[in-house]
Amino acid sequence: MQPYYQTPLVTLYLGDCRDIIPTLPARSVDLLIADPPYGVNWQSGRRADRFDAMDGDDGLTDWPAIIGDATRRLLRNHRHAYVFGYTPDQIAKPCDLGATAELIWDKQHLGPGNLSVPWGPEHERITFGVYEWSARNREKGSGRLAARLRQGSVIQAARPNSGQVRHPDEKPVPLLLPIVESSSLRGEVVFDPTAGVCSVGVAALLAGRRFVGIESERRYADLGVERLRAAEQVALMAGGL
Mean pLDDT, range 57-78, rounded to an integer: 90
- pLDDT over 70 (residue 166): no
Q: What is the DSSP letter of 231?
A: H
We report the CATH number of the domain holding residue 73 as 3.40.50.150
pLDDT of the residue at 134: 79
CA distance 27 to 23: 12
Residue 15 burial by CB count (10 A; 0-12/13-18/19+): exposed, middle or buried? middle
pLDDT of the residue at 28: 98
Q: Are 155 and 104 in contact (CB under 8 A)?
A: yes
Domains identified in the chain, total number: 1
pLDDT of the residue at 140: 64
Phi-psi region of 51 (alpha: psi -120 to 50; beta: other; left: phi over 0): beta
pLDDT of the residue at 119: 77
Q: 188-231: per-residue pLDDT in tens?
A: 999 999 999 999 999 999 999 999 999 999 999 999 999 999 99
Per the model's pLDDT, the better-predicted residue between 187 and 169 turns out to be 187
Q: How do strand 154-156 and strand 75-84 relate by DSSP bridges?
A: unpaired
Considering the chain, what percentage of its residues have pLDDT values greater than 70?
79
The count of other CB atoms within 10 Å of the CB of residue 144 is: 12
Domain that holds residue 200: 5-237
Closest C-alpha among 30, 7, 9, 32 to residue 17: 32
pLDDT of the residue at 47: 44
CA distance 97 to 71: 9
Name the helix (H) or strand (E) containing 128. Answer: strand 123-131
- pLDDT over 90 (residue 174): yes
Mean pLDDT, range 92-114, rounded to an integer: 86
Q: How many CA atoms lie within 13 A of 185 on its CB side?
A: 3
Position 42 confidence tier, pLDDT thresholds 50, 70, 90:
very low
Position 41 confidence tier, pLDDT thresholds 50, 70, 90:
very low
Q: What is the mean pLDDT of the chain?
A: 85
Q: Are 125 and 84 in contact (CB under 8 A)?
A: yes
Strand, coil or helix: 169: coil
pLDDT of the residue at 227: 97
Q: Are 224 and 218 in contact (CB under 8 A)?
A: no
The one-letter code for the residue type at 145 is: L
Mean pLDDT, range 164-181, rounded to an integer: 84
